[in-house]
Structure 1
């Protein structure tokens, strides 16, 4: 039964690149075959619960701008919110959604009450998933909004807060498993420090390592088949977060014996906050064997904080999907829109249009990336650049079969000095422009 929130907007259909209908896809045809796979199966779109249905339109200097009929801390409101959420998922025709536990149920007076409410609303979500065929890409627990987490969750100086957070994650993992979630994400919203004056960094890192090991252990003992993901973020709200970027997280995982157990959910906006490009973070994760999933949202390049805007730059998106395709594409991961409307975009149709545009940009970007892969537009040039390393002597160096003295003796016997060769950056950038 329709809630009427989206009025008479019908299911969004593919109409092709010449369409001028704002409520239609111009590039996203879910059944289109790209590199032998349906576009829907490449992109694995998910809509997030939190920004789309929880965020009231606040910013650091202004209060609520959105008025939604489900903005109340009651189970009745939570069930209305679920009904509206699945209407949006169905209108868009996306295969997945994502949520925090606090998004879908109101906070209880005790953790026990919160868990009971989470399982209660899971009944509603389960029924909606059965009726629509929409699946859960991942669940996660909110370990940052409540004042108890002001000094972190796993990294909190109070062991009782650590234990409370651990019990909260267990409950959310249980519901994620019950709903068939394909991943479980850990987003350490406050796992960092505001000042070193009151921080024991070694202690906090050990706590975080223990926390994550507990989760991985529970995954195996509970039979959860999904992937455990960490979402790197460098700052905001804390001055410095321990999960700064992909490389930092890999070092952490190696130290605590988790590099074979945990992968990354990478976000374009967080990459920018870390001083990287999105494709850099994706390439790093792929090279280290920890790529898992993505949040496809962007930041305003003139703002120094996480603005969570919907993607609208096909070139940036194409470069991101190029790295994803090179890495073999998604397995359990997907493309989640961790993005929110601008606080002046008040109408229900704005929520639909934002996702329509984002889905089209992603489809356009992935198809451009796939064509580059198919044509070997970049890979052939990259291969030629490193061709020397396929030689016998270079292979022996890489394999550890040459000492420093042997390499030096080999070089001093050369009659001709090696000369640098062009990296052809501008030419390669021109090639990208042909495909997007």
Structure 2
């Protein structure tokens, strides 16, 4: 008897989610996501590489700073950490399989309780990763990326790799080693570092230069360990400006890229961009994507959105087609993700308490991205969007403009070329036309 036959379904009222087309009124069907549909010679599944997040979907009970969780999670029942972890994994793989997705992502503490000490935690990870191998083979599901939670436990109140206490840094190293071992064992395709508390609350008690140097040293050690143990995937850094710390060292895409260049890490690391983190940094999602793409470092994305009346990370499921279409234009033009995909780092609202709500949330987000992909492809191939963008910089394509780009002119040359400036003319950016163009194709 295989593992699937041993377990009772947690989502027994929901069957396999299938593509039924835009005219379907079935709330448990895809209207736009057809995984095998070709877009630019590649399947929609390969373009988007959707992954379910273990933490929000199977660990999040709706708790917030003002109250405990109202959402029942029947897979949390069990007398031991091992039993609860297996129940949770049964639910996770049933859910992922019914959605028809290929990937999931996890923190170490998501898949099994941490235990009393790092040695016990390591043994527990060995146990549950053995079970995960069975489930992955059964359901033909893979790990998009793994990571270690270096921010929730009180030991990390002052950071992990940037902690002023070396003993905490050493513990973080042991935890990352175990998480890397687990990711490698499960054939994880990537590994993520999110510096949840790698930053400061006050500069009065912080040696920022030393902490950033420690972070770089830690990342080099983790990278070297993983490479020496057969990991061939990509490492991701996920930018976020603040919350929970006042200022985090991975503030935004530009900051992270500067850090990776400064400490010689850019060959092994790409960026994992999150919508809600971009807006917390007072950027748009598209801005962070473009900064990453321009540096050839667009590795992966976390799909969510914030509440624009809130100043914190609400992690809502993505539904904004206008925003997603602009994002997909950048992702398509960049040639897609470098190793990663689209991870639903999003959680149900506190008052969404039915198990079926988890399906509605993912179906809506998946369809929104699929529709945005189709619209972006049509804009790119059928409209004058890219010709207009190129024409705006046409004066650099030949003559003196091309000489400037190629470094053949001096400042004196520029002054001579401009003369009295009488030939200058205003050229419209046509922003409203382009905004309307996006809406027209939507």
Once the two structures are superposed, residues 205-255 of structure 1 have per-residue CA deviations (whole angstroms, 9 ceiling, x without a partner) of 111111111122223222211100000011111111110100010111111
What is the rounded CA distance, in whole Å, between the counterparts of 2:351 and 2:12 in structure 1? 20
Equivalent pair of 2:75/2:91 in contact (CA under 8 Å)? no
> What residue number does 1:200 align with?
207
Tell me, what secondary structure is at the counterpart of 1:18? coil
In the alignment, structure 1 residue 431 sits paired with structure 2 residue 419 = no
Once the two structures are superposed, residues 100-119 of structure 1 have per-residue CA deviations (whole angstroms, 9 ceiling, x without a partner) of 00000111211111011111
What is the rounded CA distance, in whole Å, between the counterparts of 1:108 and 1:60 in structure 2? 24
Segments of 4+ moved more than 6 angstroms:
none
> What residue number does 2:305 align with?
298
What is the rounded CA distance, in whole Å, between the counterparts of 2:384 and 2:425 in structure 1? 25
TM-score (norm 2): 0.96
In the alignment, structure 1 residue 242 sits paired with structure 2 residue 244 = no
Unaligned 5+ runs, structure 2:
none
> What residue number does 1:256 align with?
263
From 116, 125, 136, the equivalent of 1:109 is: 116
From 396, 413, 423, the equivalent of 1:417 is: 423
> What residue number does 1:158 align with?
165
Residues 185 and 409 (structure 1), Cα distance of their counterparts in 2 relative to 1, 3 Å cut? same
Equivalent pair of 2:76/2:87 in contact (CA under 8 Å)? no
User: Which residues of 2 match residues 224-235 of structure 1 at below 5 A?
Assistant: 224-235=231-242
> What residue number does 2:28 align with?
23
> What residue number does 1:390 align with?
397
> What residue number does 2:74 align with?
69
| Cα shift at 1:415 | 7.9
What is the rounded CA distance, in whole Å, between the counterparts of 2:31 and 2:16 in structure 1? 14
From 291, 296, 299, the equivalent of 1:289 is: 296
Question: 39-48 or 165-174: which moved more?
Answer: 165-174
Once the two structures are superposed, residues 265-315 of structure 1 have per-residue CA deviations (whole angstroms, 9 ceiling, x without a partner) of 000011111101101100010012211000010011111111111111111
What is the rounded CA distance, in whole Å, between the counterparts of 1:427 and 1:376 in structure 2? 12
User: Which residues of 2 match residues 330-349 of structure 1 at below 5 A?
Assistant: 330-349=337-356
User: Which residues of 2 match residues 273-284 of structure 1 at below 5 A?
Assistant: 273-284=280-291
From 158, 170, 176, the equivalent of 1:169 is: 176
Equivalent pair of 1:23/1:353 in contact (CA under 8 Å)? yes
| Cα shift at 1:434 | 1.2
From 315, 319, 327, the equivalent of 1:320 is: 327
What is the rounded CA distance, in whole Å, between the counterparts of 1:42 and 1:289 in structure 2? 17
What is the rounded CA distance, in whole Å, between the counterparts of 2:411 and 2:324 in structure 1? 43
User: How many pairs are equivalent?
Assistant: 435
TM-score (norm 1): 0.97
Equivalent pair of 1:377/1:431 in contact (CA under 8 Å)? no
CA RMSD of aligned residues (A): 1.3
What is the rounded CA distance, in whole Å, between the counterparts of 1:336 and 1:397 in structure 2? 42
| Cα shift at 1:65 | 1.2
What is the rounded CA distance, in whole Å, between the counterparts of 1:133 and 1:374 in structure 2? 34
Equivalent pair of 1:192/1:241 in contact (CA under 8 Å)? yes
Residues 253 and 415 (structure 1), Cα distance of their counterparts in 2 relative to 1, 3 Å cut? closer
Equivalent pair of 1:233/1:271 in contact (CA under 8 Å)? yes
Tell me, what secondary structure is at the counterpart of 1:70? helix
In the alignment, structure 1 residue 78 sits paired with structure 2 residue 85 = yes
Tell me, what secondary structure is at the counterpart of 1:138? strand
> What residue number does 2:56 align with?
51
Once the two structures are superposed, residues 363-403 of structure 1 have per-residue CA deviations (whole angstroms, 9 ceiling, x without a partner) of 11111111112225311101111111011322222222222
What is the rounded CA distance, in whole Å, between the counterparts of 2:345 and 2:232 in structure 1? 24
